[in-house]
Amino acid sequence: MDGKLEEFEKDEHERFEQYLDKFIDDTLEESESYPVEFPENHFYDFELNSISNVSFAVADNPFFKNEIAKYYPEAIILNA
């Protein structure tokens, strides 16, 4: 590593501390935005609220029998 991650984390932490100090002192300007930025996620994501059980597994395709097993991921989510 060339130290870029450590430098980035230190800078982000300092900006967040300054933001919190201004927020606590009630001196935060309306034009100031939240310092931690979340880039756009190109993958599908969702929230799991009030979920009782979450199970992940893999299974062969039941419609084809191959010489080499090819696994397909499954997710079972129950809200009971």
Domain range for residue 67?
4-78
Pairwise CA distance, residues 40 & 35, whole Å? 16
What pTM value is reported for the model?
Answer: 0.47
How does pLDDT run across 16-67, given as a tens digit for each residue? 999 999 989 989 888 888 888 888 877 766 666 776 776 666 666 666 666 6
Query: Which structure tokens are listed for 7?
Result: 């430098």
CA distances from 43 to 5, 20, 38, 39, 75 (A): 23, 31, 14, 12, 16
Structure-block tokens of residue 75: 């997710």
- Alpha helix positions (H), 2-57: 4-25
Number of separate domains in the chain: 1
CB–CB of 18/37 below 8 Å? no
